[in-house]
Chains A and B, each alone.
Chain A
Amino acid sequence: MRRPRNRVILAGILLMIAIGILLLSVSGYLQPAEDLLLRPMVKVQSWIAIRYNAIRDVLTSPSDISTLRQENAILEAEVARLQQEIISLQEQATEAEILSALLNYARSQPENRYMAANVIGQDVSPFLRSIWIGTGSEAGVVQGMPVVTERGLVGRVAEVFATISRVQLITDPEAAVNVEFQTSRADGSLSAQLSGELWVDLISQDADINVNELVLTSGLGGNFPADIPVGSVLSVRKRDVDIFQQAVIEPSVNFADLDIVLVITNFQPLPINQVQ
């Protein structure tokens, strides 16, 4: 057994290395090293994410898959091959479906330029709501770029490495989006509660907000382009004693089922620290 003194020295050295890494990272000197480490990691992560998504899609798909499974049970000899084929086809079909929807969305918004990116993971910290996408600065992604799907706003790029980027979702409590209501034209500020629930605050008391009304980005503040759907109004909280009214929003994007997203590449965002 190693003597305790040696262990203290080892622990001390390891701690100093970790603290050194933290300090260098905070100072911004470790970006190239992080890029280097992330390269092989992204490949493994993309590989696993694609297969995991395919398996998840198969398992959560409706009854046609269960029929196929019954057939598979009968054709025992071909089970392995069929299963593999189903997963592959399902993934291709899902991907084609998503890309088609995204393409239609991109065509309907000719003023924006889009870059499609695979979602390859989520933040490992359960306290942060962000996703990793498999494209980075090598493809022209810049910090602050808005990220959308054909359904609406997803978030904005918060961190960029050579081959991977972290997207802060609008459901993260740190994110804030200036929005407007489509019918009443009232402005507000959307922020997420720690539970992930979306609230629009700072709505004028004079505004007449309706349930199910569509909420869009307003473009104010320069962090998102205008008129991207964010969600619809679930309920409104209006009290005479308050200065502003609030609205609870149902997001238009299903954040639990993001496979492919679009990065808006021609939008020049204000630097994140400037916005905050």
Chain B
Amino acid sequence: MMSYVIGVPTLLLLAVLQSTVFSEIGFLDGQPDLILVILIAWSLAGRADEAMVFALIGGIFLDLLSGTPFGATAIIYVAALYMISLVEGQFWKGHFLLPPAITLFTSLVIYAYSLGILFLIGHPVDLSYALPKVILPGTFLNLLLALPAYHLMSDLQERYFPSEVDI
């Protein structure tokens, strides 16, 4: 319960920072997706179920601050975090390249989904512009943040929310 008390305001703050600060200090036209990076890290830190709930809440916060249809981001975030939760229990879960690899793949999937949604609502979409100027720089920034976020979330998880052990 404590994680939700802390997590929900944190997600709200991240969504606001995404809109006010990080929309201006990106790379080319790309910007890091703070909420996605934190959610992936939280899921890989062993809190996959919570991360899925946070994905819904974080997606809703982002949808509130976007012209995309309300709920659209929440759907892909929940779906993505469910797919990431499947990593749990795999023998390669501890591989140090897993967080960046998952961040890379998830970022690309979410960008593709966003473009698909814009196409569906009739907004002009140009992949030849979006790929080099938005998608690749944004994915690169997410990749840069992936490992620090994973270590931060793992430390937080171990220190404040240690996993229950079945005896």
Do A and B pair up? The answer is: yes
Q: Which residues of A contact B (CB under 8 A)?
A: 1-2, 7-8, 10-11, 14-15, 17-26, 30, 34, 37-38, 40-41, 44-45, 48-49, 52, 56, 120-128, 130, 132, 158-159, 166, 168, 173-174, 193-195, 256
Contact status B74-A18, CB under 8 Å: yes
B103 proximal to A (CB < 8 A): no
Within 8 Å by CB of A195, from B65, B69, B133, lies: B133
B109 proximal to A (CB < 8 A): no
B18 proximal to A (CB < 8 A): yes
Contact status A48-B20, CB under 8 Å: yes
Bound-complex Cα distance A127 to B110 (A): 12
The B interface, classified by DSSP as helix, strand, loop or mixed, is helix
Bound-complex Cα distance A195 to B56 (A): 31
Contact status B88-A1, CB under 8 Å: yes
Contact status B130-A121, CB under 8 Å: no
A56 nearest in chain B by CB position: B24
What 7 pairs between A and B have smallest CB-CB spacing?
A22-B71, A121-B19, A25-B70, A21-B71, A11-B82, A122-B23, A18-B74
* With A14-B55, A121-B65: A41-B16 Cβ-Cβ less than 8 Å: yes
Contact status B123-A18, CB under 8 Å: no
**Total count of chain B residues near the partner, CB < 8 A:** 55
A-B contact pairs, 9 of them (CB 8 A): A7-B82, A14-B56, A18-B75, A30-B70, A41-B12, A48-B17, A122-B23, A127-B114, A166-B67
Within 8 Å by CB of A128, from B15, B53, B67, B79, lies: B67
Within 8 Å by CB of B78, from A15, A44, A120, A121, lies: A15
* With A37-B64, A132-B65, A195-B129: A122-B19 Cβ-Cβ less than 8 Å: yes
